[in-house]
Chains A and B, each alone.
Chain A
Amino acid sequence: MNNNENLYQFLLRCADDNLIAGQRMAEWCSNGPILEEDLAMVNISLDFLGQSESFMEYAASLDTTGKTSDDLAFGRSEREYYNHLLVEQPNDDFAVSMVKLLFFSAFQKELYTALMEGKDERIAAISAKAVKEARYHYRHASDWFERLALGTDESLRRLTYAVEELWPFTENLFETDEVYNSLFAEQIVPDMKSIREKWMTTMREVFSNGGVDIPANVHMYAGGINGYHTEHLGHLLCEMQYLHHAHPGAQW
């Protein structure tokens, strides 16, 4: 593997995380619990898609086979996707989607802040833009966490269920491998341990504000960044890629 292959791989991870998170969030379009929330979720989805495009275009510029960002988004299969397992989990309940957004936006907020200081100028520029969006997402999700936690017995029950469902996918966000480590050695990406520490500090604060316990002794899932996914990603891709497969090269 040369340096560009590692960079290419990392860019796809960032692009895929955002694309899959955006697609999931877009499933809420017209299904939101209230109009304002419906609008909020599609706005957030749009941010994810925009961020994904920025990373995907950078990846496409390194692709030696001449693939475009659309080819990468719509032409790869499940095992060629490198997003984290958290983002592909189904929406299920509104509380599940908000807890997922909380875990993910708190992660992105720290990662982007650190990437802004990294040695790759294009990644730093994308991150400087994206971090502002991630902060708004985090604010939205943490507000809902508190509101659901301190709301009614029913909202707390649903929130607790969401936390139990999704916490096992959180350690995966901080997983590193030789691709990541080589970029870390080049000072392009940050030390993942410090990102995890900052993330945990944020979680302790949010959970304590809502009076909810952080799950302990949970089995943590691994994968995603290596192309191995839960069963949900394939179904998501079927829907997301259908139009492009039915009409190859379609422009809209």
Chain B
Amino acid sequence: MVNIVTIPNLQVARDVLNNIPDPDIPVISIVELGIVRDVEIKENKLVVSITPTYSGCPAMYFFKEEIPNKLHEAGFPDVEVKVTLSPAWTTDWLNDQTKEKLRTHGIAPPTGNAMEHLAKKKVSCPRCGSSHTALRSQFGSTPCKALWFCDDCSQPFEYFKCY
């Protein structure tokens, strides 16, 4: 008889989380979006800390179910999802690769850093690259996006707000 003590493997857990897409923007994962703040093992329990993008983000309810489900499937029986509010989520956590994924998905990525959140700025059309664009509304289809319009393709597009 050999006693096998299974210690949760952090790297495996991280890989699982890297493959959970954001429900509204499925081209990027919840790790790339910056929702997952920390993964740690506490007394053989896997503790995943997440933070909401916006206070009322409805996807938080989804994450609280989806994260344990996917980790259970991958062989982690004991999973706790903890919600942290500090530090507050910011688009500064999105790296260049993630921003490029947003753009190829048709969403203009945030430009500039979070401190310039309300500055008047130029946003390029994610389809044709034109800078002849205009803000239509600060509030789009989800809390994190604004609605812009491209005057060259005559099409509306979404802009991931700087936050």
Contacts and interface: CB of A to CB of B under 8 A. Distances in A.
The judgment on whether A and B are partners is yes
Interface of A: 36-37, 39-40, 43-44, 46-51, 53-54, 121-122, 124-126, 128-130, 132-133, 135-136, 139-140
Nearest to B87: A128
Contact of A39 (B55, B84, B139): B139
B52 interface: yes
A50 B61 CA distance: 12
A126 B89 CA distance: 11
Contacts of A135: 117-118
Contact of A36 (B56, B114, B147): B147
A40 B55 contact: no
A51 B54 CA distance: 9
B154 interface: no
Contact of A47 (B117, B136, B137, B143): B143
A40 B140 CA distance: 7
B56 A53 contact: yes
A140 B138 contact: yes
B150 to A, nearest CB: 16
Interface in B82-140: 84-89, 114, 117-118, 136-140
A40 B137 contact: yes
Contacts of A40: 137-139
24 contacts: A36-B147, A37-B137, A39-B141, A39-B147, A40-B139, A43-B143, A44-B139, A46-B143, A47-B143, A50-B52, A50-B55, A50-B56, A51-B55, A54-B55, A54-B85, A121-B86, A125-B86, A129-B88, A132-B117, A132-B163, A133-B55, A135-B117, A135-B118, A136-B139
A130 B138 contact: no
B57 interface: yes
Given A36-B147, A124-B86, A128-B86, A53 B55 contact: yes
Given A44-B139, A54-B85, A125-B88, A139 B118 contact: yes
Interface string B24-68: 000000000000000000000000000010111110000000000
Interface of B: 52, 54-58, 84-89, 114, 117-118, 136-141, 143, 147, 161, 163
A121 to B, nearest CB: 8
B85 A129 contact: yes
A132 B140 contact: no
Contacts of A43: 139-140, 143
B18 to A, nearest CB: 25
Contacts of B140: 39, 43
A124 B85 CA distance: 9
A51 B57 CA distance: 10
Nearest to A57: B83
B55, B58, B114, B137 — most chain A CB neighbours (10 Å): B55
Nearest to A136: B138
Nearest to A121: B86
| Among A51, A121, A130, A136, residue most surrounded by chain B Cβ atoms (within 10 Å) | A136
